[in-house]
Structure 1
Amino acid sequence: MPADVTVTLTPNGNTFKGITGLVQGTDYTVSGNTVVISKNYLNTLAIGTKTLTFDFGVTANPVLTLTIKDSKPQFTGLGVTIGTAAGKTGDTVSVPVTLTNVSKVGNVGTCNFYITYDPNLLEATTVSAGNIVKNPAVNLSSAINSSTGTISVVFLDNTIGNELITSDGDIVTITFKIKGTTSQTTPVNFKTGGAFGNGSMSKITDVTYVNGSVKF
């Protein structure tokens, strides 16, 4: 989500009447010569450019051009993303690990990866198979080390071809209980190591990892 945008006005003796098409107090606020454009308004804008006219009642009113970009990670190959979750102390939250662009690499026949978290703030309770894993009782295994805050996940199509991962979706979902009592966002990150391979057991080299978090 974008942040507020702060603009400092230089009136040059003119009176600021507002931003054309926007609602003061909702889309933006004014304090002296400072205008703050709300992130909530900015979040409604489509990707591309947006021009905002600052009305001073003159012939050539100043114009601010905003460039709105897609903040989602762009994957050239396989994307592996830890999701985000939010709750409060004592809550149980679910954090998915999602594969994206599986078709670009053909399929996934095997993988292993490691995830770290702060065991003082979170308690990992379960790792369950996601919607893209076939026959998880045989093909998927995981382990939680609560003392080090480490989760290991291993997937292997034991049929070597008939139960490959062939579509995007969640490979696992991790359930955490929030132990922390001071409001913050605590990271849930990939740990160095691990690899992905296709159905021919060849290593998939174009893999992008995106970390996640839990907010409380």
Structure 2
Amino acid sequence: MNDDMIFKICLLAALGVYGMTSLVRPQPKDTIKLDRTIPDLQITGAPTSLVLQRVAGSSSVPIGIEALPEIDGQTRTIDVRLKGATVRAVLDLVVKKDPRYVWQTAGPVINVFPKGPKDPLLGTIVSHFEVKNVNREEAIRALENSIEVQKILAETSLSDRTLKSLPGDSEYGLPKFSLDLKDSSVRSILNSIMLKSSSKSWVFFRYGARKDSFSVLMH
């Protein structure tokens, strides 16, 4: 057997091994999360943001939500009744029932936001966000006090300038973490805080007669 024949045999063997390993290649983490099953989800007459928070809590898949403001004091509600459905199926059903929203993955996080214009605050880019040995409350306060966020709050004259976690939550015992992010949007930073603090979801919403007040709830 000459050298040329030996080379061809080795090449074919290598290609065969590659083909076999490609068949068992692990799924991306995003796909694994979306295929996670929620045993039972029965929700009646709840705001879309609350439904999504329940999905996050039931599936342990972190979700960041930009909620649309109420119109004339009316809150849109939906019903979700599913058993043994995947996270993907639940999300698809939610945006079908409330087509004002779309969802997409952002690494290990799911973000849900309006189909139309997004809130400029969440899209604000912070050039450098760094915190050390803080809990989520302290991290959110640091984000609020960043130069870029303070600037847009002043420009838009928002009356409530408080970014906060779920009211009633105590800071005692919350996990500590550090973050060092560059050129990141407020939405992305909130995602990172949620992940680092082992929180399940965050919700951004505006309120008030002129929608000039806002809050961010994380839990």
Please indicate the TM-score interval, normalised by the length of the shorter structure. under 0.3
TM-score norm. by structure 2 comes to 0.24
State the structure with more CA Rg.
1
Q: Which has the higher strand share?
A: 1
Higher normalized helix content (fraction of residues): 2
